[in-house]
Chain A
Amino acid sequence: MSPSPSTVEKALPETPPRAGYDVDAIRRDFPILSREIYGKPLVYLDNAASAQKPEAVIAAERDVYERCYANIHRGVHWLSVHATDAYDASREKARAFLNAAAAHEIVFVRGTTEAVNLVAQTYGRTRVGPGDSVLITGLEHHSNIVPWQMLCEEKGATLAVAPLNDAGEVDLDALERLITPRTRIVSVAHLSNALGTIVPIRRIGEIAHARGVPVFVDGAQAAPRMPLDVQALGCDFYAFSSHKMYGPSGVGVLYGRTELLEAMPPYQGGGDMIRSVTFEKTTYNALPYKFEAGTPNIAGGIAFGAALDYVQGVGLEAIEAHEAGLLRYATEAMQRIPGLTVIGTAREKAGVLSFVLDGVHPHDIGTVLDREGIAIRTGHHCAQPVMDRFKLPATARASFGLYNTRGEVDALIRAIHKVIGMFR
């Protein structure tokens, strides 16, 4: 008797399209959202740090371990074959999600951070030399600064930084001027985690490509929040993390154009990334396996496929519109609070609302909100240069997900008034 089908065995589960945007129905899909914190309903507004998981993702991961677990790309036995099929089905889902030209352009990594390191240590190490430069912008997360800084230090190259204006937008004229004949790569975030600025990737691609320079895009914040098409965006690399888009942590995607990936040396050596090994010589595996040494997060990768199904079932356009409505509503409410300043006032923003309160340190805001059951992030958000640019030690940051509501924004605003009552 053959085993009965499970969620893993169905390569592409059907997710019925939703009529309208039923946020209550979406909330019921996320078990954690029904819990209380300190006796108050959880208001989770720390989605830019990591997002919560729907039952479909939790069930998919559990299903792997209960019914379909074995190592992948190795075995002749039933479990290994099915686990491999399910893992590779996630790769195809990621390809479709990004509209990449081919599934072999999707490299599985641990997350966006590893993707930046991979490109810096392979593409970067072979292309960047003494006197060359790598160009980033002033709004980058530390993970899109430090790997390039390490590379530049090693190679005697320069890390150039396109500045921000007071609204937190990248100065595109300055960026254009900073691209020199020695610029080897431009690496930019699609959406700032500290400011919420949407960066015009397509325009930056045009500027860089006119000078023959490839573009790497850190899509960690954008991928859960807007429809993506890497071919239409014209980027050469695009990276994002599963855990910020309602999937498991420890899984991420590096997209790279075939010709670039083929020309790059491997990242880590080990099993899976080789075709044949002797003590004299190793030949490397084909794309994408050349960059996937060792046993990956198998169950996480498969459950990531369930997360991709989930967000596409809701629809990225619908999520984008829902979060834009929340951001507008919350921004207007905050601007009515005396002594509150929104940090990051770009014309094009999404998902992230950073703010400071006169006379109250963000850490104290975070502690008071926590006791109201409201989870926000306080601190430098792994973007210390952004804090320095705005001459702030830290900010408080609310960030939205597909399950947040206007009622939760109201709770946030009430709690901020409570903070003011305590500290002023």
Chain B
Amino acid sequence: MSELRDLYQEVILDHSKRPRNFHSLPSANRKAEGYNPLCGDRETVYLQVEGDVLKDVAFEGSGCAISTASASMMTESLKGKTSAEANALFERFHGLITGNPEAAAGPALGKLEVFSGVREFPVRVKCATLPWHTLKAALQADGSTISTESEGPAAESGGA
């Protein structure tokens, strides 16, 4: 039960119920869609990039508590960052939730540390990373819909 509380921390539940920056962004000059059809999670990430700086970040869509909170907190943590800083933050975040010690170096995660409980739930890693992979696609102006369902050791693959 404590692992469940570690996964669904109050901050995460709060962001899942009241996601921040949860709207489309008319000023956006980059966007990408993330979709995990097996879970039914679907998120669009909007970026307003000026020079190399993320001036504004927002998202829309529907998903589970983990993916929604991850998207919400990601948007908060990215404003004012350069794309290189955003990528470095993702690497660190990914290391945190997959329990990969090699990614321990890098920028401080701050509030994003609350996602450390995800590492005890390998099948939920793909939920937490969906908005981040979608962000990367938006930064690369990749028009394709991205999915993270191949991520994690127990990727679902169908069955009845």
Q: Taking beta carbons and an 8 Å cutoff, which residues of A are in contact with B? A: 48-50, 141-143, 193, 220-221, 244, 359-364, 367-368, 371, 378-382, 384, 387, 392-394, 422-423
Report whether A393 and B7 are in contact in the complex, using a CB–CB cutoff of 8 Å: no
Report whether A361 and B64 are in contact in the complex, using a CB–CB cutoff of 8 Å: yes
Report whether A371 and B1 are in contact in the complex, using a CB–CB cutoff of 8 Å: yes
CA distance A170 to B71 in the complex (A): 39
Report whether B121 and A367 are in contact in the complex, using a CB–CB cutoff of 8 Å: yes
CA distance A220 to B159 in the complex (A): 11
| A395 to B, closest residue via Cβ | B40
CA distance A412 to B121 in the complex (A): 21
Report whether A423 and B160 are in contact in the complex, using a CB–CB cutoff of 8 Å: no
Report whether B65 and A423 are in contact in the complex, using a CB–CB cutoff of 8 Å: yes
Q: In residues 123-160 of chain B, which contact A (Cβ within 8 Å)?
A: 124, 127, 156, 158-160
Q: For B1, what are the chain A residues with a Cβ–Cβ distance below 8 Å? A: 371
Q: For A50, what are the chain B residues with a Cβ–Cβ distance below 8 Å? A: 159-160
| A387 to B, closest residue via Cβ | B40
Complex interface bits, B41-56 against A, C-beta within 8 A gives 1, otherwise 0? 1100000000000000
Q: For the complex, count residues of B whose C-beta is within 8 A of A.
A: 27
CA distance A347 to B159 in the complex (A): 26
Asked whether B3 is an interface residue with its Cβ less than 8 Å from the other chain, the reply is yes
Given A361-B39, A362-B40, A423-B17, list of 16 further CB < 8 A pairs? A50-B159, A50-B160, A220-B160, A221-B160, A361-B64, A361-B68, A363-B64, A364-B65, A367-B124, A371-B3, A379-B38, A380-B38, A381-B160, A393-B42, A393-B62, A423-B8
Report whether B121 and A48 are in contact in the complex, using a CB–CB cutoff of 8 Å: no
Known: A367-B7, A422-B13. A382 touches B160 (CB 8 A): yes
Report whether A393 and B41 are in contact in the complex, using a CB–CB cutoff of 8 Å: yes
Q: How many A-B residue pairs have CB under 8 A?
A: 74
Asked whether B26 is an interface residue with its Cβ less than 8 Å from the other chain, the reply is no
Q: For A49, what are the chain B residues with a Cβ–Cβ distance below 8 Å? A: 159-160
Asked whether B66 is an interface residue with its Cβ less than 8 Å from the other chain, the reply is yes
| A393 to B, closest residue via Cβ | B40
Q: For A379, what are the chain B residues with a Cβ–Cβ distance below 8 Å? A: 38-40, 156
CA distance A48 to B158 in the complex (A): 12
Asked whether B63 is an interface residue with its Cβ less than 8 Å from the other chain, the reply is yes
Report whether A244 and B160 are in contact in the complex, using a CB–CB cutoff of 8 Å: yes
| B38 to A, closest residue via Cβ | A379
Asked whether B4 is an interface residue with its Cβ less than 8 Å from the other chain, the reply is yes
CA distance A176 to B124 in the complex (A): 44
- Counting from the closest, the 7 A-B pairs by CB-CB distance are A393-B40, A394-B40, A361-B64, A363-B64, A193-B160, A364-B65, A49-B159
| B160 to A, closest residue via Cβ | A193
Q: Provide a sorted-by-A list of 11 A–B residue pairs whose CB atoms are within 8 angstroms.
A: A49-B159, A49-B160, A50-B160, A220-B160, A361-B62, A362-B64, A363-B66, A379-B156, A382-B160, A393-B39, A393-B41
Asked whether B101 is an interface residue with its Cβ less than 8 Å from the other chain, the reply is no
Asked whether B37 is an interface residue with its Cβ less than 8 Å from the other chain, the reply is yes
CA distance A381 to B68 in the complex (A): 22
